[in-house]
A = this chain, B = another copy of it.
Amino acid sequence: MSLKSRKNPSKATKASSGSKKSWQGRLSADADAATAELVASLDIDRALWRYDIVGSIAHARMLSEQKLLSRPEFKRIHDGLLKIAADIESGRLEMPIELEDIHMVIEKALTDRIGQAGAKLHTGRSRNDQVAVDLRLWARDAVDGLIGKIAGVQRALVTLAEAQGKVVMPAYTHLQRAQPIVAGHALLAYAEMLQRDADRLADARARINVCPLGCGAVAGTSLPIDRARTAELLGFPKFARNSIDATSDRDFLAELCFCCAMLGVHLSRWAEDWIIYSSTEFALIELHDAYCTSSSMMPQKKNPDTLELIRGKSASVIGSLVGMLTLLKALPLAYNRDLQDDKRFVFNSVTTMEQALTVSAGLVATSRLREEKISAGIDEGYLDATSLAEYLVGKGVAFRQAHHIVGELVSRAERSGKTLSELPMEILRSACGKIGADVAGYLGAANVVKRYASDGAAGAGQLRKQLAYWKRKLA
């Protein structure tokens, strides 16, 4: 993290604010407009302002405790920063782009307001560790926000599963009808995915939650600062062990980008399912109009645009993850200015997912399963074939043979346009003599779901247990 030349203030600076940059010592020329824009990150990093102020107050408090600031100096810094915070919150603080980043905006406002004491704030600190601590404070909050929003979607899924989850619908594999399930089981599959996202974020949080403040530019400092104290003041359970690593480490952002990418992929899988399920042909689910739009040309259209946008957001978060990793690839130690762009990637990942989760929760909460349509079509597609094979296993037929027998029966039924339960008993018995009248209890989707016996299976009993689990967990 570096700053502009010291010797001469840039023309832009002169023109618009008259301010003089504090490090105008060694370098001599002015940057032109395109360069000014390239090196400025203010449009992006202003989002960090709150964390920057919190971090500076903690740093100043420690400096005063260590006698590197006097009590009155600290008081002036502390009060000055709080006033700046209020001004930013209310939109009153000017942020001229030639100050380049939010850190300089705040430091300059402070120095303008309190003079000499402000010039001491940066004691024992570099932009490199300052930016790192700001990012970690931001990322910690971002993780907490995402975990909360994930729970919101999960609650909506559980609520829907409770309200309509007992209806028997087809499960699909390969987008082909596979076996009958209670619908709630399918809804809770998404809750499972999302829980892993939440758990992954919680793991990432532990790696975020390490304080880099006090690592300076790259090597630490000869001044008697107290890193344990600033860590404590900022709620970090520990501080970073190695100053070189701490100032160039962006793993925590890459990991957060990955968590968002995985989450985005999960949302895309759910969105894809529901886009297909809300087609005229599948007709399994009805979306609320608020989440659909029509067409500018075709008056009859009701399109699941919101789901499509959510599906598409996976591209954005995968792209940001790639950007972040590529940024870091082959980057020498320690801080390099390439890292200025880290924020573009991770801010996009987090805000994209926050938005997608908020909308998803509302969309799930307002959707309803089309129970009549689902039930009307449930006996298409030989969903009970596996159940029949397992019936034969119960009669002592080896599974591979049972599978083969049922395969032949399905072919036969298909040719005559019948379901398995419509096949006459003599046909069944000619395929396998062990089939008896009790087979009726294994055929038809409604019967099949009653028989699911294994933990985690798709029957009503298992659903009850799972719902209880989730309600406890999300309470």
Contacts and interface: CB of A to CB of B under 8 A. Distances in A.
Interface in A308-347: 308-316, 318-341, 344-345
Contact of A217 (B125, B179, B332, B405): B179
Contact of A381 (B29, B300, B331): B300
10 contacts: A23-B294, A29-B290, A120-B399, A171-B334, A172-B334, A189-B248, A219-B458, A221-B457, A312-B338, A319-B320
Given A178-B217, A223-B394, 6 more contacts: A6-B294, A39-B305, A179-B218, A218-B458, A222-B442, A296-B403
Contact of A39 (B189, B293, B331): B293
Contacts of A296: 1-3, 23, 122, 126-127, 217, 403
Nearest to A131: B296
Given A173-B301, A337-B308, A126 B327 contact: no
Contact of A341 (B3, B294, B313, B388): B313
Interface residues of A, number: 206
Contacts of A280: 176-177, 380-381
Nearest to A247: B173
B244 A38 contact: no
Contact of A291 (B31, B271, B279): B31
A466 B341 contact: no
A192 B242 contact: yes
Contact of A193 (B214, B245, B394): B245
Interface string A425-456: 00000000000000000100000100111111
A35 B304 CA distance: 12
A64 B166 CA distance: 33
Contacts of A330: 268-269, 271-272, 311, 314, 329-331
Interface in A27-75: 27-32, 34-35, 37-39, 68
Contact of A455 (B116, B214, B323): B214
A351 B331 CA distance: 23
A280 B171 CA distance: 13
Secondary structure of the A contact surface, majority rule? helix
A293 B305 CA distance: 33
Best-buried of A303, A326, A383, A406 by chain B (most CB within 10 Å):
A326
A221 B449 CA distance: 10
Contacts of A185: 219, 242-244
A214 B456 contact: yes
Given A293-B39, A451-B222, A452-B221, A382 B178 contact: no
A401 interface: yes
B331 A219 contact: no
A404 B299 contact: yes
Best-buried of A203, A293, A340 by chain B (most CB within 10 Å):
A293
